[in-house]
Structure 1
Amino acid sequence: MFIKKHFSSLTLSGLILAASSCIQDHDLGNPYQLPTLSNQGVALPYTVLGSQLGVEIRNGGFGSSAVAHPYNAGQFYALTDRGPNADATGGKYFPVPNYTPRIGLFRLTSDGKIEKLSEILIKDPSGNPISGRPNPAGKGATGEIPYDLNNQVLDFDEFGLDTEGLVAMKDGTFWVSDEYGPHIAHLKSDGTQIERISPVNVNTGTRKLPAVLERRWANRGMEGLTITPDEKTLVGIMQSRLYNPSNSAATNRTLTRIVTFDIATGSTKQYLYRQEIDNNSNSEITALSATQFLVVERDGNFSADGPVMKHIYKIDISQATDVSGDFNSLDGMLVNGKTLEANSWDQLAAAGIVPVQKTLAVDLITALGDYPHDKLEGMWLIDGSTLGVINDDDFAVWSDPILKIKQKTLSPTKGTVIDGNRLYIVKF
């Protein structure tokens, strides 16, 4: 449960951020001391949801996003996505069809262990737990069809979310972003939905995101969400390029979009981010100031299988071009008569469009010697130079073209160790 404390100011990298006036270790009553973790990190606790087709399914899954508790030092929230799933023809298998996406509250103890303090189930506006199954047409559909493991088509969920980005507000509420609509949902402290904000053509509410964001491709939606330190502006990042106007026409495969949303007015802006590798994944964004952010950029590979890219960049949007264009147009801004994704970076530069500035803040392989997981997705900003990073373990479940699901290990071909959520501490 969220407990608000009296607070004063703590200086972080030149910023004044709210923090508890007496940073306490809740067990000992002493000032909290961040423990020293080995480069192998520390495991998050999990329970077992059950077994399907001989595969252990874990709960688990708390790695899609992470964020500091607004007041309690040593505590962080971590988010699951839509739940255990695997690829199916035309859609996804859901081994636990009614799994509810959730927010976990965790504590890193002074002796270097992680405790789960509580979890919050995400609920619809009536207070009923939602599922992670896809939305129906008109409500944020991606075209994915949900199946159970018997190949029976499951019901769509009007309020379903594939949650990926998380913001914890000082008033105890939360904001989450997702990969369906993409939606941004405001939640009460108990997880009940207050508001859902979606692209123009998605029928979920009156306040809207730019129509162009609807052209995300399935499972590549709004992967990261943060808020500026003054708690006035939400900032979301799309995982990869949009299929804008289509997959084949979106020839610039390193262009992805950042969108800002003014909470008071609903006004938005958009900026471009240039990825290092075609169709890379921007899995998280964390605010340092009103204009500077940390952004995860990664591939989907395991270090056991060869070279990998797990980078965290510091970006600055202050000199970047607002590329909002027509808010209501599916195409968005046009350059040379084409969508932004259909222009090269040279063509965009010639038109005066400047992407966000970026500098490498952390290379996880260099910082840790190895990073064995495929999905670097959660960032807990501990202080002005320290990050906790968490991987998404996919509930220990993987797709299999014959078996439907199999155990997720730390390599598709060589792995025997089951992937699990782990927290690593790095400096930036």
Structure 2
Amino acid sequence: MSDDTRRDDATRGSHSTNRRSVLLGGGAVLGLGTVGSSVVRGLLGGDDSTAAHDPSRISDPQIEFFDVDESYLSLGDVTFRGGNTLDLVVGLGSGAYARDDEPDDRFYTIADRGPNINCSDAPAVADRSVESICGDDTGGKIFTNPGYTPSIYTVRLDSMAPSQTAAVTETIPLKDSDGHDITAISNPLESTNTEGAHSINGNRIPYDPNGMDIEAIVRLQDGSFWIAEEYAPSIAHVASDGRVLDRHVPEGVDEDLSAATYPVTPSLPAVWRRRKLNRGIESLGVLPDEGSLVFAIQSPLANPDVATSEASRNIRIAQFDVDQNAVTDQYLYRLDRPQTFARDSRNGDPTQSDVKISELRVLDESHLLVLERVSRTTKLYVVSMDETDPIPAEYDALDREPTLASQSGDELSVDHFEKTLVFSTDDHDGFASKLEGVAMPNPETLILINDNDFGYSGAETQIARLTLSEPIV
């Protein structure tokens, strides 16, 4: 279950320079050199305009909502000692993907690590003290279904029925090299932080080096998949039958996962180990030639500390060469301010750490569609990789991340994406909270799906199909 707040907001930004720079505080000057004073004012908080707004890119789409047949997805009742019972269903919508050479009514989704509850929420959910279930591990997780296997789902939309419906037509459980189902239990991580795992009856669940908290998916022409997950964080190549062929983790994490029963390769930069807890890789796309992947960390890295992540607006997007098994480039993406998510703002006071990237799609060789959200408001942005310089390789060795304000001394300047807002759920009624999956079966169609957190809080899965008058790019 993602680390989410229940809030939102909305003023869309208007002005955008062709190139923007982010001040990293201290160190030598790399990249773009001098930063204009108007940009500096924006970074210091005087300007909320972070992007151009072009509503004509998705102008008055036809929007259809589909009910999901959840009977097939039931996980049954879970009853805590003391009597509290949860009626749980699989949450399909942590990620979604559609191929343009397959039927338009078919797409693929994944569910994350299964129903889980913060130990600190035990009194409210289970009517039991934190200590009776988790001991002194107040930051741990209660896994209500520890035998749950993360899976890939094929979903089919049906527009011909009396009401718009969607149904799961195939389930592919993830497996290790020997064909055994894996779990979604937390990993034994020494090189980065992790969460303790507990059963509903107060037993400690051993860490699992095979466990994955899956949040994004793409399907290749040969029928295999790439998935992204939050624990390590990592990306993994998965065969069409669900076997994990290789899991790519940051340098050093491979040693923590040496007992995994599938291949683990240290292909990602070591600095990605500094992902904020429960904010790993939650978005993944593939370029048209399938030779490269693009993925984003969900929140700014905790580099050097969590306070940096919570205050920052700067997220890394990486390009990964499949043949080289290596990240070839990293780019900087600038998040919106929390006050610009209208529905969240009306229901609370979102902070900068509530803003995150939950999905991205590759539109063509150089353009990405990025899903940025708090909870109730979701925005879709278009960015161009051709118009932005990557982060210099030397930057990964620095013990700090981009900051919102310049500091005394030399300034390290890094370019970040110019982005154009093309759609916001603040402009339309009926959309669910926590939209996390975007599938594009063709250039004129978007399918959005929410993460229902396995029905833990009563939310239902919703699928929305947007039919556009023309392609986004």
The whole-number CA distance in structure 1 between the counterparts of 2:460 and 2:85 is 14
- Is 1:242–1:256's contact at 8 Å kept on the other side of the alignment? yes
Gap regions ≥5 residues in structure 2:
1-60, 120-137, 258-263, 338-351
- SS of the residue aligned with 1:213? helix
How far the C-alpha of 1:267 sits from its partner, in A, is 3.1
- SS of the residue aligned with 2:393? coil
The whole-number CA distance in structure 2 between the counterparts of 1:323 and 1:170 is 31
- Residue from 170, 173, 180 that aligns with 1:118: 170
Per-residue CA deviations over 1:115-152 (Å, capped at 9, x if unaligned) read: 211100011122111111101135x7632000011221
1:142/1:352 Cα in 2 relative to 1: closer, same or farther (>3 Å)? closer
Task: Name the amino acid aligned to 1:61.
Answer: G
1:251/1:39 Cα in 2 relative to 1: closer, same or farther (>3 Å)? closer
Instruction: Report the equivalent of 1:221.
Output: 280
Per-residue CA deviations over 1:55-90 (Å, capped at 9, x if unaligned) read: 444332100000014532110001100100010112
- Residue from 97, 101, 112 that aligns with 2:150: 101
The 5-angstrom pairing of residues 247-286 of structure 1 reads 247-250=306-309, 252-268=311-327, 269-277=329-337, 278-279=352-353, 280-286=355-361
TM-score by length of 1: 0.78
Kindly indicate whether residue 450 of structure 2 is the aligned counterpart of residue 424 of structure 1.
no
Instruction: Report the equivalent of 1:243.
Output: 302
Q: Which has the higher contact order (CA 8 A, sep 6+)?
A: 2
- Residue from 174, 187, 200 that aligns with 1:135: 187
- Residue from 77, 81, 84 that aligns with 2:112: 81
Kindly indicate whether residue 386 of structure 2 is the aligned counterpart of residue 318 of structure 1.
yes
- SS of the residue aligned with 1:332? helix
Instruction: Report the equivalent of 1:59.
Output: 89
Kindly indicate whether residue 396 of structure 2 is the aligned counterpart of residue 332 of structure 1.
yes
The whole-number CA distance in structure 1 between the counterparts of 2:114 and 2:317 is 25
TM-score by length of 2: 0.71
Per-residue CA deviations over 1:274-324 (Å, capped at 9, x if unaligned) read: 000222110001101122111110013x4xxxxxx3101111122222115
Kindly indicate whether residue 179 of structure 2 is the aligned counterpart of residue 153 of structure 1.
no
- SS of the residue aligned with 1:248? helix
The whole-number CA distance in structure 2 between the counterparts of 1:228 and 1:345 is 35
1:57/1:160 Cα in 2 relative to 1: closer, same or farther (>3 Å)? farther
The whole-number CA distance in structure 1 between the counterparts of 2:381 and 2:406 is 19
- Is 1:250–1:342's contact at 8 Å kept on the other side of the alignment? no
Task: Name the amino acid aligned to 2:66.
Answer: V
- SS of the residue aligned with 1:195? strand
How far the C-alpha of 1:386 sits from its partner, in A, is 2.0
1:249/1:76 Cα in 2 relative to 1: closer, same or farther (>3 Å)? closer
- Is 1:242–1:341's contact at 8 Å kept on the other side of the alignment? no
Task: Name the amino acid aligned to 2:149.
Answer: T
How far the C-alpha of 1:251 sits from its partner, in A, is 6.7
How far the C-alpha of 1:42 sits from its partner, in A, is 1.0
The whole-number CA distance in structure 1 between the counterparts of 2:356 and 2:397 is 23
Q: Which protein has the bigger helix share?
A: 2
Task: Name the amino acid aligned to 2:215.
Answer: E
How far the C-alpha of 1:242 sits from its partner, in A, is 0.8
Task: Name the amino acid aligned to 1:52.
Answer: V
- Is 2:331–2:389's contact at 8 Å kept on the other side of the alignment? yes
The whole-number CA distance in structure 2 between the counterparts of 1:235 and 1:344 is 28
The whole-number CA distance in structure 2 between the counterparts of 1:251 and 1:155 is 30
Larger mean Cα displacement after TM superposition, 205-214 or 355-364? 205-214
Kindly indicate whether residue 224 of structure 2 is the aligned counterpart of residue 173 of structure 1.
yes
Q: Which protein has the bigger strand share?
A: 1
Per-residue CA deviations over 1:373-426 (Å, capped at 9, x if unaligned) read: 2x11000113223201000001011xxxxxxxxxx1xxxxxxxxx311111122
Instruction: Report the equivalent of 1:372.
Output: 432
The whole-number CA distance in structure 2 between the counterparts of 1:291 and 1:389 is 22
- Is 1:178–1:184's contact at 8 Å kept on the other side of the alignment? yes
- Residue from 341, 353, 356 that aligns with 2:402: 341
1:324/1:129 Cα in 2 relative to 1: closer, same or farther (>3 Å)? farther
The whole-number CA distance in structure 2 between the counterparts of 1:240 and 1:276 is 12
- Is 1:49–1:58's contact at 8 Å kept on the other side of the alignment? yes
- SS of the residue aligned with 1:214? helix
Larger mean Cα displacement after TM superposition, 81-90 or 51-60? 51-60
The whole-number CA distance in structure 2 between the counterparts of 1:104 and 1:267 is 28
- SS of the residue aligned with 2:439? strand
Kindly indicate whether residue 74 of structure 2 is the aligned counterpart of residue 48 of structure 1.
yes
How far the C-alpha of 1:343 sits from its partner, in A, is 5.8
The whole-number CA distance in structure 2 between the counterparts of 1:40 and 1:212 is 42
- SS of the residue aligned with 1:41? strand
Instruction: Report the equivalent of 1:230.
Output: 289
Instruction: Report the equivalent of 1:363.
Output: 424
Task: Name the amino acid aligned to 2:205.
Answer: L
Percent identity reads: 31
- SS of the residue aligned with 1:341? coil
> Cα RMSD (Å) of the superposition?
2.4
